[in-house]
Amino acid sequence: MCNGTEFDMKNRVLLSMLVVFIVPVALLCGAEITAQGNAVLVPAGEYRMGDRVVKVAQAATLAVAPAPVLAAADEPVKLSTDKPAGWAKGARLHACNARDVNACGSFVPGSLEIRRAKGGALLKEGDDYLVDAAWGHVGIGTNSCVKTSDTVFASYRYSLLRMDTIEVRADGNVSLKQGEPHISAPVPPDADAGCTAIAHIFVNYRDTEVKADQIYPILETSAQVVTGSTPGRIPNTLAKLKAGGAVKIVCWGDSVTAGGNASKPELRYPDVFAAGLRERFPQAKIEMQNISAGGSHSRQWLYPDKFRYRGKPWQETGVTWQRIADAKPDLVTLEFVNDAGLTPPMVEEVYSDILKRVQGIGAELVLITPHFTMWRMMGFNGMRETERRPYVLALREFASKHNIALADAAARWGHLWKEGLPYLTLLHNTINHPDDRGHRLFAEELWKCFR
């Protein structure tokens, strides 16, 4: 999961503001789906998705249900000694939980009531308890009548996200299919048999009306995405695979490589990647070893005495380059979203050392560009912007300059809005951990390196 060493959240803009997009809804063959209060208007006309055209015979106004708001009653909780602030500080209100953290924006501000006993007198916010309304975390107040060892009872409301699908039947009639609500990673429903999906609607926490920037026309398919992933730059590994030989792959990285937030181990991207290679090269003997640590960055592995992981010596944490060298891999894949703060000169310096070390043990290297995270972390103003993170641009340049294989996951994530998906709905923890769909995107880009 995201750790304290990964991101400083103190100055982050609240995730509840995440739908402030700056790019207007795209036009589809002159027909534009527009928002009208709690509904969307779908004009008659032709809608193009890549090389396919779908005709809407008659304009339709489709009502969009508000975001679900649910209630939690008398939830037992112990108030934290930490002042609740950001994703990591304070005790969680558990109904807002998105597996390893609370979903930012799910808690309904002003809805919290805390009692010392069920049905008892209300405690007072400020004196008895504190609350971070963005993350749904609570802590002990400045003059509390309870102790942190006491169990108190919290009642509050929380909201869910939803993705709906606009679909068109063969006769040209259009309708809206409602999706299943989810705390952080809603999936749009597939179009019904005989229907074609032309757009998705993102229903954000507590929404009662539709905004134009929550309409996601399906402009292209996943097959149309063009990324910078590079085939042919791992000749030794490919030769062994094609010959049916033994190949050992080390997937090296941080919490994303470790698996956060895949629903089960076999759906982590290293495991999906390895399984796909075994299908493609059934005669080869492929071994994959996952060497990763949540919250780590590459310099902690390379220079553990200088950059201590979680403030501890590497002998205790195991975060050291020697583990990769001792594994004796034929191929190393590298993913560090936590390197995103590196400047281009630092990328050249650090990754030159990585390349030298990998080649020094007789292995080949695949660099992986990182996925998208909370857009404010990336310096973005919305979810439909072109990649401009200096680290990502420098990583692509480094791979090109040194003829190193690149799995361009960043470009794949940057294409999602054209497929009708706001990329944040693939972040299970609402910050930086992909769901199962997001993990698969990494594997798909890695497979492109094996053509």
pLDDT digits (tens, 9 = 90+) for 163-190: 999 999 999 999 999 999 999 999 999 9
**What does the pLDDT read at residue 99?**
86
Structure confidence at residue 73 (pLDDT): 98
Question: Which of 400, 35, 441 is CA-nearest to residue 211?
Answer: 35
DSSP 128-191: TEEEETTTTEEEE-TT-SS-TTS-EEEEEEEE-BEEEEEEEETTS-EEEEPPPPBSS---PPPP
Report CA torsion sign: 86, 89, 90, 91.
positive
Structure tokens at 276: 């796909």
Q: Which residues contact 283 (CB under 8 A, 6 or more apart)?
A: 244
Query: For helices 269-280 and 436-448, what crossing angle results, to 10°?
Result: 40
Whole-number pLDDT of residue 14: 36
Task: State the angle between helix axes of 344-360 and 390-402 in degrees (0 to 180), rounded to the nearest 10.
Answer: 40
Q: Would the pLDDT of 134 be above 50?
A: yes
pLDDT tens-place string over residues 281-303: 999 999 999 999 999 999 999 99
Question: Domains of the chain, with CATH numbers?
Answer: 27-67+161-218 (no CATH), 69-159 (no CATH), 223-448 (3.40.50.1110)
Q: What's the CA gap between 112 and 144, in Å, rounded?
A: 16
Spatial strand order in the sheet of 91-92? 91-92, 137-140, 129-132
Mean pLDDT of 90-118: 96
pLDDT score, position 26: 39
Residue 341 has pLDDT above 80, yes or no: yes
pLDDT band for 31, please (50, 70, 90 cuts).
low
Does the pLDDT at position 159 exceed 60? yes
Average confidence (pLDDT) over 200-221: 96
> Using only C-alpha atoms, what is the Rg of the chain?
24
Max Cα-Cα span within the chain: 74
